């Protein structure tokens, strides 16, 4: 069993995350749009996934609901996300979210053997509550508090985390938005007497709208980030809106082992939206695909 647990831990390290198991699943962020843009969305996140990427960006003009399915290269690995937000005044927005990350049917052995004696699952959950508050003008602040639950085989741990975010929109005559976040403050209990720290992450970036070129409306996103005890990272994304209902997207991630270019698209019809993001991994590790759908009303 120890051998299989070690194999599972190594698989998590190989996933698009930064910290040791016990917390790395928190960095498997939601949303097809975010995936397509290389996750350079601290200042440009839209919809209910704001509860994860930057709570200050929750929509203050409409209610939103969004769901996501994320399939990994690891056989049997997936994550699901559902979130919603609702404005309660012209200054305050409230939100709620749930994230599940899991790998099922992992081979169980009690000694080196070609044949397992059974299988086990690894399941992680995060339940969160969020708020965004307009401070002055178009400057907003937000926060998300989560309850964390992690289970591997018969071991279980609970914890909590806190995200803080700022967003300033409408700079340079509406062309520029700037955002910053601190995510995954908090702690989680020891799992089988082993302590793990959360992947506390600081990020800051912006989105610049380049104007209209016929039917095309491009926007450029750039940001930098730093996970505690890890090297800095840089991300960039380009989104081109076409015909008001189609967006094509691409991104690039630097400083994250196994990742580089990303791609995807988005569709919108009235209040409905669908987003797809594709993240290939280097070294023959396959790819991850994120599908998300939402409604705004």
Q: Which position has the token pair 């929109």? A: 169
Rounded-to-integer distance, Cα 84 and Cα 122, Å: 26
- What are the pLDDT digits (tens) for 28-73? 889 999 999 999 999 999 999 999 999 999 999 999 999 999 876 5
Please state, rounded to an integer, the average pLDDT across all residues of the chain.
Answer: 87
| Pair of tokens at residue 261 | 């270019």
CA dihedral for 182, 293, 130, 155, sign (positive or negative): negative
- What are the pLDDT digits (tens) for 84-132? 999 999 999 999 999 998 887 777 777 777 777 777 778 899 999 999 9
Length of the chain: 297
Q: Which of 72-76, 109-113, 262-266 has the lowest mean pLDDT?
A: 72-76
- What are the pLDDT digits (tens) for 138-156? 999 999 999 999 988 778 8
**Three-state secondary structure of the chain:** CHHHHHHHHHHHHHCCCCCCCCCHHHHCCCCHHHHHCCCCCCCCCCHHHHHHHCHHHCCCCCCEEEEEEEECCCCCEEEEEEEEEEECCCCEEEEEEEEEEEEEEEEECCCCCCCCCEEEEEEEEEEEEEEEEEEECCEEEEEEEEEEEEEECCEEEEEEEEEEEEEEEEHHHHCEEEEEEEEEEEEECCECCECCCCCCEEEEEEEEECCCECCEEEEEEEEEEEECCCCEEEEEEEEEEECCCEEEEEEEEECCCCCCEEEEEEEEECCEEEEEEEEECCCCCCEEEEEEEEEEC
Neighbouring CB atoms inside 10 A of 118's CB total 11
pLDDT at position 7 is: 44
In the chain, the domains with their CATH numbers are: 2-296 (2.40.160.60)
Of 262, 246, 245, 265, the residue nearest 254 (C-alpha) = 262
């Amino acid at each position: 069993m120890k051998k299989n647990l070690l194999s599972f831990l190594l698989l998590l390290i190989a996933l698009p995350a930064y910290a040791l198991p016990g917390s790395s699943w928190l960095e498997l962020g939601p949303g097809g749009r975010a995936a397509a843009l290389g996750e350079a969305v601290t200042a440009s996140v839209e919809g209910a996934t704001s509860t994860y990427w930057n709570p200050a960006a929750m929509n203050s003009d409409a209610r939103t609901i969004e769901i996501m399915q994320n399939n990994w290269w690891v056989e049997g690995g997936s994550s699901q996300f559902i979130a919603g937000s609702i404005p309660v005044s012209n200054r305050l927005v409230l939100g709620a979210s749930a994230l599940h990350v899991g790998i099922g049917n992992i081979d169980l052995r009690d000694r080196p053997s070609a044949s397992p004696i059974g299988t086990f699952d690894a399941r992680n959950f995060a339940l969160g509550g969020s708020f965004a508050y307009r401070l002055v003008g178009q400057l907003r602040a937000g926060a998300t508090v989560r309850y964390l639950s992690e289970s591997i085989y018969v071991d279980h741990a609970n914890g909590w985390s806190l995200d803080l975010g700022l967003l300033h929109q409408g700079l340079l005559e509406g062309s520029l938005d700037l955002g910053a976040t601190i995510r995954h403050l908090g702690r989680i209990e020891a799992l089988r007497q082993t302590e793990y720290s959360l992947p506390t992450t600081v990020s800051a970036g912006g989105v610049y709208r380049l104007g209209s070129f016929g039917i095309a409306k491009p926007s450029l996103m750039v940001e930098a980030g730093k996970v505690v005890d890890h090297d800095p990272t840089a991300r960039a994304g380009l989104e081109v809106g076409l015909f008001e209902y189609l967006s094509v997207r691409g991104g690039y991630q630097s400083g994250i082992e196994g990742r580089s270019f990303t791609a995807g698209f988005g569709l919108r019809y009235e209040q409905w939206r669908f987003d797809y993001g594709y993240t290939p991994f280097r070294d023959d590790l396959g790819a991850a695909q994120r599908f998300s759908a939402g409604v705004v009303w």
